[in-house]
Amino acid sequence: MRVQARMRWNHIVPLPRNATRVVRLRTCLPETRRKALTTMAGGHDIGRRFNPYREHNHDRDGAQRGPRRSGRNRADDSVCIASFPVYPLEKWHTRCAPYQQPKELGYFSYDEHRGMHWMSDKELNWYYEPDLADCDLNDGFPHRYITRAPVAERLDALLSSLQKINRKAEAELMPTVTPRFCTWRGIMTRILCTPYSKDEWELGVTLFKGTIYMEEHESEEKRLSAFGGSDRDKLMSYYGYKFESLSTIDKPPSQLKGPGDEALQKRKTAVVNTNIQFCSVFKTKLGSNSLVLGAEVDCLVNDQKPLENPQSAYAELKTNRIISTPNQQRSFERHKLLKIWAQSFLPGIPKVIIGYRTDDGHIRSVEHLKTMEIPRMVRGKQANIWDATVCLNFANGFLDWLTRAVTEDDPDVVYTVRFAKPFQEVQITEKIRVDPVSGSGSSEASFIPVWFR
């Protein structure tokens, strides 16, 4: 098709797969001809502004040359200050960014009232295979189920841990820990999974004394539904905690005195209290980006936690509906195994234990997976299945970009970072200054407490 119109050529943009040849034109085409070109361009309206990957503001590796100071997020019409494109995924198919073996810096336990106890492993229990003859995940719901208050906990426990770690290092005349990034493991899991995800997320990001702190912005609705909105959702949430209760004991398995041991009986009738957790605080590095992360740990699989590389004795516990159809298997491989791998890989937890349940909540089998083998388990089994290299390279590129985009070093300045529909790019949509005490300006804004400054 030949289109006669006055035009000035700019540079060629990256091509969508269903486009034959597309260029950015600075022109105003007649409506009928513009529609024709739009069809050729795979649905993109080039007569207005065909710019699927923000090509005018990115280097070849997809990173921004500088923040884009104007523009609108089409999902909600909010201002876009800067953006980082996710696609095409082919650009992340390069040599894998190195990920350093995580090193535990410390740990803490949350008690039944959500009180934090530094360097206490009281709430870290040992894994002991559940009794499949009597493994009913419904038992105790709802009368033996205590959920923690739906309030934003922010980074306080992690920041307190980092503060204690550095005070100890100073007292011992050792180097302090100043990471480039500090956040919870769950946030890094979201970032790692983003190339293959359609789940929205929003972060608050603050640069303070050279470290970028990231916390999740949760809506009131999301906080209230954290343990289930409907009765069915609450039961599904309970299933996961109940499986953990039925699969762990409060002493090493070597100390059990037989099947009638009190520890085995107690776990069947124990109250499920979601306030109780054991958390590991560790440092690692992705590419050139140093990180300090905090992560909940479900259980120990060794009688004793080794002093060197204690993560080697940790395990993650998961539940999943029994897989009975090819579609369920494909969904499990494409979605759940991706999240399980990312969540376990980041802190260096080597083992995942999955309990497969019936629809009515009875565990019928248990599977043990090695974290490092999960990517090979899914490789090549489906078209466009997730690739761990893409996840790590994207996350490394994202952290590099965030380092360049978040430049104001001030604990009272918060950047809002979003991944939302149409799920093509991560955007910085807001930059605000808040009161350090009241957090005025946004209910989610002020998360670097005064005592940490």
The pLDDT of residue 333: 98
Q: What is the mean pLDDT of the chain?
A: 84
Is residue 17 very low, low, confident or very high in pLDDT (cuts 50, 70, 90)? very low
Residues 6+ apart with CB under 8 A from 298: 244, 248, 314, 315, 316, 317
Q: Which one is predicted more confidently, 268 or 35?
A: 268
Q: Tell me the pairing of strands 181-184 and 289-297.
A: parallel
Q: Once rounded to an integer, what is the mean pLDDT over residues 227-231? A: 75
Q: Once rounded to an integer, what is the mean pLDDT over residues 331-351? A: 98
Q: Are 390 and 92 in contact (CB under 8 A)?
A: yes
CA distance 355 to 216: 29
Determine how many CB atoms are found less than 10 A away from the CB of residue 1. 7
The pLDDT of residue 27: 32
pTM of this prediction exceeds 0.85: no
The pLDDT of residue 436: 76
Virtual torsion, Cα 117, 122, 123, 124, nearest 10 deg: 120
Q: For residue 265, give the H/E element and its range.
A: helix 262-269
Q: pLDDT at residue 416 above 90?
A: yes
Q: pLDDT at residue 63 above 60?
A: no
The pLDDT of residue 12: 31
